[in-house]
Amino acid sequence: TSVSRGELLAQAVSQARLLKNLVLTGFSSIYVIDLDTIDVSNLNRQFLFQKKHVGRSKSQVAKESVLQFCPEANIIAYHDSIMNPDYNVEFFRQFTLVMNALDNRAARNHVNRMCLAADIPLIESGTAGYLGQVTVIKKGVTECYECQPKPTQKTFPGCTIRNTPSEPIHCIVWAKYLFNQLFGEEDADQEVSPDRADPEAAWEPAEAEARALASNEDGEIKRVSTKQWAKSTGYDPVKLFTKNFCGTYKYSCSSFFFSFFPKEQNKSDQQNESSAMLKDQQVLNVRSYADLFSKSVKTLSLHLAEKADGEALIWDKDDPSAMDFVTSAANLRMHVFGMNMKSRFDIKSMAGNIIPAIATTNAVIAGLIVLEGLKILSGKIDQCRTIFLNKQPNPRKKLLVPCALDPPNPNCYVCASKPEVTVKLNTHKVTVLTLQDKILKEKFAMVAPDVQIDDGKGTILISSEEGETEANNHRKLSDFGIRNGTRLQADDFLQDYTLLINVLHSEDLEKDVEFEVVGDAPERIGPKPSEPTPKNISNGSDDGAQPSTSTAPEQDDVVIVDSEDEGTSSNADDVENKSRKRKLEKGCECVGAKRVRAEQEQDDLMIVESEDEGASSSIGEEENRSHKRKLEEKGCECVGAKSVC
- The amino acid present at 587, given as its one-letter code, is G
Is residue 43 marked as binding? yes
Is residue 34 marked as binding? yes
Dist CA 587 CA 133 (whole Å): 8
DSSP state of 575: H
Is residue 45 marked as binding? yes
Contact status, residue 26 vs residue 51, Cβ threshold 8 Å: no
Is residue 42 marked as binding? yes
Strands (DSSP E) contained in 308-453 are 385-389, 400-404, 420-425, 450-453
Is residue 82 marked as binding? yes
Is residue 81 marked as binding? yes
Is residue 171 marked as binding? no
Contact status, residue 317 vs residue 138, Cβ threshold 8 Å: no
Is residue 144 marked as binding? yes
- Find the helix or strand (DSSP H, E) in which 577 lies: helix 574-581
Dist CA 136 CA 123 (whole Å): 5
DSSP state of 585: P
What are the Cα distances from residue 302, in Å, to 238, 293, 597? Answer: 17, 14, 71
DSSP state of 583: S
Which of these is catalytic: 159, 171, 253, 590?
Answer: 159
Is residue 590 marked as binding? no
Is residue 108 marked as binding? yes
Is residue 415 marked as binding? yes
Sign of CA pseudo-dihedral 256, 261, 266, 269: positive
SS3 state of residue 157:
coil
Contact status, residue 36 vs residue 18, Cβ threshold 8 Å: no
Dist CA 354 CA 397 (whole Å): 29
Task: Name which of 327, 283, 282, 344 is nearest 178 in CA terms.
Answer: 327
Is residue 445 marked as binding? no
- Provide the b/e sequence for 207-216 (b: ≥16 CB within 10 Å): eeeeeeeeee
Dist CA 564 CA 582 (whole Å): 10
Is residue 625 marked as binding? no
Dist CA 642 CA 645 (whole Å): 10
Dist CA 546 CA 538 (whole Å): 6
Is residue 552 marked as binding? no
Say if residue 70 is exposed, middle or buried (CB neighbours under 10 Å; 0-12, 13-18, 19+).
Answer: middle
First and final C-alpha spacing in the chain: 41
Total residues belonging to the chain: 645
Contact status, residue 391 vs residue 586, Cβ threshold 8 Å: yes
Dist CA 443 CA 355 (whole Å): 23
- The amino acid present at 520, given as its one-letter code, is D
* 636: annotated active-site residue: no
Q: Which residues are annotated as a binding site?
A: 34, 42-45, 58, 81-82, 103-108, 144, 147, 412, 415
Residues assigned a catalytic role: 159
Q: Which residues are annotated as a binding site for ATP?
A: 34, 42-45, 58, 81-82, 103-108
Q: Which residues are annotated as a binding site for Zn(2+)?
A: 144, 147, 412, 415
